[in-house]
């Protein structure tokens, strides 16, 4: 079966008429075309084009002669058939080529949703025996997972963190939660929960005098003194000091404010950041360590938090109830700190 018709003056191919051009075919072209999987049927449109017919599927197509001669002409019918077969192998159906981008097509998935996907990805999925993930069904699944723990999916995350969504708790409170944590119910409501995220928490500023490298650490914790003494793995004998502690209404707020401070430091004071490679294992943390010179900037950021959330500065001594075994943790109360800072400032 052939889906073209040769008229004296034209080729009819897939419903379109291409005027034949009365120029001879170079005898060498027949062999060249055959070696590339095609028969050459004639010349059309202008002196640069010919009609090729695929040996595999017998579909004719108009192709530039130089492409036929010097390159590897492709049979688009065969390619589309291969893509459709790949889609079928994973239960999908290729329903249209994408008008914007030749590497993309539209596929109807087994769930009946239609998605735009790169052909290559679909063929890879078929070769590996994977299904194509349906974004619409995925969001529905996230919603179902959340419902098991009293939450509803409320759309995209407010923040731009990937892997997060906005969820609404049954109390009405909304917050961003990582999809992975929600799947395990590993979250608590900043609006009503009686556990960590809902309980008061602290932002702290520690000074850690590593040998030859005095640094400060900004972080959050429900128990800053415990964090400094037992969780950061700081060697005995190294002088540490709790410089400032701020009480925030909830763990969620503490995380939010602390993250905002780190973001500001990254964006505006990247030079004050001490890379992990520099402090290494001396402090058991991945980051959030700054040169001591950053202190003024960090205090300024915390002052801004205090302005927005009044009554947050607390007496740091209340966070360090007992001395460390090495006796090296000192505490500066906010009042002393203010006095000290005011001597630094104009
Ligand atoms: Zn073909
Ligand atoms: Zn779906
Ligand atoms: Zn709640």
Q: pLDDT tens digit string along 268-306?
A: 999 999 999 999 999 988 888 999 999 999 999 999 988
Q: Which pLDDT belongs to residue 332?
A: 40
Q: Which pLDDT belongs to residue 323?
A: 34
With beta carbons less than 8 A apart as the criterion, state whether 141 and 164 touch: no
Rounded to 5°, the CA angle 71-73-74 comes to 140
Six token digits for residue 146? 């959340």
HSE-up (13 A, CA, CB side) for residue 70: 5
**Span from the CA of 174 to the centroid of ligand 3 (angstroms):** 8
> Euclidean distance between the first and final Cα of the chain, in Å?
91
Whether the per-residue pLDDT at 112 is higher than 70: the answer is yes
pLDDT bucket at 264, cuts 50 / 70 / 90: very high
**Span from the CA of 200 to the centroid of ligand 3 (angstroms):** 15
**Span from the CA of 247 to the centroid of ligand 1 (angstroms):** 71
Domain boundaries of the chain, sorted by first residue: 4-74, 77-133, 136-190, 199-344
User: Average pLDDT in the 48-64 region?
Assistant: 95
User: Average pLDDT in the 65-87 region?
Assistant: 95
CA distance 174 to 153: 9
Q: pLDDT tens across 310-338, in order?
A: 666 776 655 543 333 333 334 443 333 33
Six token digits for residue 204? 């702290």
Q: Which one, of 243, 240, 167, 248, lies nearest residue 200 by Cα?
A: 248
Ligand nearest to the CA of 38: 1
**Span from the CA of 132 to the centroid of ligand 1 (angstroms):** 26
ipTM of the complex as predicted: 0.85
**Span from the CA of 145 to the centroid of ligand 2 (angstroms):** 16
Ligand nearest to the CA of 80: 1
Alpha-carbon separation of residue 309 from 172, 218, 253, 305, 313 (angstroms): 22, 18, 10, 6, 10
Ligand nearest to the CA of 37: 1
With beta carbons less than 8 A apart as the criterion, state whether 132 and 122 touch: yes
**Span from the CA of 142 to the centroid of ligand 2 (angstroms):** 13
**Span from the CA of 312 to the centroid of ligand 3 (angstroms):** 23
Size of the chain, expressed as the number of residues it contains:
346
Ligand nearest to the CA of 78: 1
List residues bridging with 103 in a β-sheet.
Answer: none
Ligand nearest to the CA of 188: 3
Ligand nearest to the CA of 134: 2
**Span from the CA of 195 to the centroid of ligand 3 (angstroms):** 11
Q: Which pLDDT belongs to residue 245?
A: 92
Ligand nearest to the CA of 252: 3
CA distance 275 to 309: 30
**Span from the CA of 288 to the centroid of ligand 3 (angstroms):** 30
Whether the per-residue pLDDT at 39 is higher than 70: the answer is yes
Residue showing tokens 């800072």: 341
Helix (H, G, I), strand (E, B) or coil at 105: strand
Q: Which pLDDT belongs to residue 215?
A: 96
Residue partners of 269: CB distance under 8 A and separation at least 6: 294, 297
Q: Which pLDDT belongs to residue 226?
A: 81
Q: Crossing angle, helix 76-89 and helix 119-128, to 10 degrees?
A: 50
With beta carbons less than 8 A apart as the criterion, state whether 293 and 299 touch: no
User: Average pLDDT in the 57-79 region?
Assistant: 95
Neighbours of 21 (CB within 10 A): 15
Average per-residue pLDDT for the chain = 85
With beta carbons less than 8 A apart as the criterion, state whether 165 and 176 touch: yes
Q: Which pLDDT belongs to residue 172?
A: 85
Q: Which pLDDT belongs to residue 339?
A: 35
**Span from the CA of 32 to the centroid of ligand 1 (angstroms):** 17
Six token digits for residue 193? 């929960």
CA distance 240 to 226: 13
Question: What is the side-by-side order of every strand in the sheet holding 16-19?
Answer: 4-6, 10-13, 16-19
User: Average pLDDT in the 213-242 region?
Assistant: 88
Helix (H, G, I), strand (E, B) or coil at 273: strand
Q: Which pLDDT belongs to residue 58?
A: 93
């Amino acid at each position: 079966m052939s889906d073209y018709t040769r008229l004296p003056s034209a080729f009819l191919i897939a419903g379109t008429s291409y005027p034949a051009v009365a120029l001879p075919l170079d005898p060498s072209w027949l062999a060249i075309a055959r070696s590339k999987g095609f028969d050459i049927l004639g010349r059309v449109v202008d002196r640069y084009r010919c009609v090729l017919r695929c040996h595999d599927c017998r579909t004719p197509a108009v192709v530039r002669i130089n492409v036929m001669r010097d390159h590897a002409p492709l049979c688009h019918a065969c390619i589309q058939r291969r893509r459709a077969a790949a889609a079928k192998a994973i239960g999908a159906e290729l329903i249209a080529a994408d008008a914007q981008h030749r590497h993309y097509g539209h596929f109807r998935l087994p769930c009946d949703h239609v998605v735009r996907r790169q052909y290559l990805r679909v063929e890879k999925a078929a070769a590996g025996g994977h299904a194509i993930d349906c974004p619409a069904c995925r969001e529905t699944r996230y919603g179902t997972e959340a419902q098991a723990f009293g939450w509803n999916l409320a759309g995209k995350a407010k923040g731009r963190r990937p892997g997060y969504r906005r969820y609404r708790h049954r109390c009405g409170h909304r917050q961003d939660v990582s999809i992975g944590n929600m799947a395990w119910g590993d979250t608590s409501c900043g609006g009503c929960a009686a556990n960590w995220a809902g309980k008061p928490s602290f932002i702290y500023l520690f000074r850690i005098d590593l040998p030859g490298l005095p640094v400060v650490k900004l972080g959050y914790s429900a128990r800053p003194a415990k964090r400094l003494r037992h969780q950061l793995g700081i060697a005995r004998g190294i002088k540490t000091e709790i410089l400032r502690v701020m009480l925030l209404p909830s763990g969620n707020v503490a995380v939010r404010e602390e993250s905002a401070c780190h973001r500001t430091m990254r964006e505006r004071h990247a030079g004050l950041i001490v890379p992990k490679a520099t402090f290494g294992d001396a402090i058991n943390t991945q980051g959030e360590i700054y040169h001591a010179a950053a202190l003024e900037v960090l205090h300024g950021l915390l002052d801004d938090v205090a302005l927005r959330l009044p009554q947050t500065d607390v007496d740091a001594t209340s966070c360090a109830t007992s001395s460390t075994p090495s006796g090296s943790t000192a505490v500066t109360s906010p009042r002393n700190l203010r006095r000290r800072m005011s001597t630094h400032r104009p």
